[in-house]
Structure formats: C-alpha cells, structure tokens
C-alpha cells in the first residue's frame, strides 16, 4: 500500500531514537470505520497540496508503556502527560511524513497536534481519501499509525 513503507521507517526511527523502543511493523491495511476502544489517539492535520491527517492510535495500556519510556518516569494513569506525549509523537511522525510529500517544506503545512482519549470513539478525516494503516508491535503491545490523505491537483 502506498506510503506504508514511509510510515514504517518514520515510526521505527522515531521510536528507536526518541522513545528508546524497537517497534516492528506489521502488514499494512485500510482501517474500516471501526471504533477505537479504551484508547488514545494523537492526530496531526495536513493542509496545502496534500490534505488529511496522520494519527497514532494507542490502547491505554500501550500509551502508558510508551509514555513511561518516552518521559523516563512511571506513568500509571491517562493524564495530561500522556496526552502531551502522544500528541508529540503524532507531531514527530507528521513532520517526518511531511518530508515525503514536500521535501522543500513549502507546499504542505502541519496543524498543531491534538490527542483524544475515550472508552469508545471514532477518528475519520476525509471521505474518499487514500488511507493506509500500519500496525506496530513491541514487548507484547500493539498500536496503529494511520495516514489519510487527498492531493489537490
């Protein structure tokens, strides 16, 4: 699937250098309009010649493990620190993916990252968008990185 390799490489690079975790990508797929359950999502919007979003979807337990590794301190509850950490991961992933679309840096803009958390919610961006989701695993934990885009011609 288009952009899956870019997502896999960006995610592995960011996690190994910033979070100090080795993550393994799985088989890319197109995520259905399924709800996310007991999860947190970090989302960053793309605008300009490419519009859409990049999101990282983490089950609560995975979000706590990643935030603990990222911040270097034990985190036991989904709180502002976790939301900030997940938003920052989305920001770093968005910045990395942006260079795939816009090596010169002037044709695609990124929004401020945001994070949402809940017992059950949906994340959808564009109808008829190109979409790819790459699952990742580490230490028995899993999470998803999703890209939804449409190109302005």
% residues pLDDT > 70 (the chain): 97
> What separation in angstroms does the CA of 127 have from each of 23, 51, 76, 137?
30, 12, 37, 28
How far apart CA 2 and CA 133 sit, in angstroms, is: 10
Give pTM, 2 decimals. 0.93
Tokens of 36: 């996310």
Q: Which residues contact 71 (CB under 8 A, 6 or more apart)?
A: 81, 85
Would you call 151 exposed, middle or buried from its count of C-beta atoms within 10 A (0-12, 13-18, 19+)? exposed
Q: Where are the domains of the chain?
A: 4-148
Query: What's the pLDDT tens digit per position in 74-93?
Result: 999 999 999 999 999 999 99
CATH fourth-level superfamily of 4-148? CheC-like (3.40.1550.10)
Q: Where are the alpha helices (DSSP H) in the chain?
A: 4-14, 60-71, 80-101
């Amino acid at each position: 699937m288009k952009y899956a390799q870019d997502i896999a490489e960006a995610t592995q690079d960011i996690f190994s250098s910033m979070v100090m975790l080795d993550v393994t990508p799985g088989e890319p797929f197109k995520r259905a309009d399924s709800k996310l359950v007991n999860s947190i999502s970090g989302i960053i919007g793309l605008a300009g010649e490419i519009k859409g979003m990049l999101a990282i979807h983490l089950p609560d337990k995975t979000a706590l493990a990643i935030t603990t590794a990222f911040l270097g301190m034990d985190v036991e509850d989904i709180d502002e620190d976790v939301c900030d950490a997940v938003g920052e991961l989305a920001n770093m992933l968005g910045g990395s993916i942006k260079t795939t679309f816009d090596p010169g840096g002037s044709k695609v803009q990124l929004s401020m990252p945001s994070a949402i958390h809940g017992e059950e919610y949906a994340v959808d961006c564009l109808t008829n968008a190109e979409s790819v989701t790459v699952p990742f695993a580490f230490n028995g934990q899993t999470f998803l990185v999703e890209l939804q885009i449409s190109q302005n011609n």
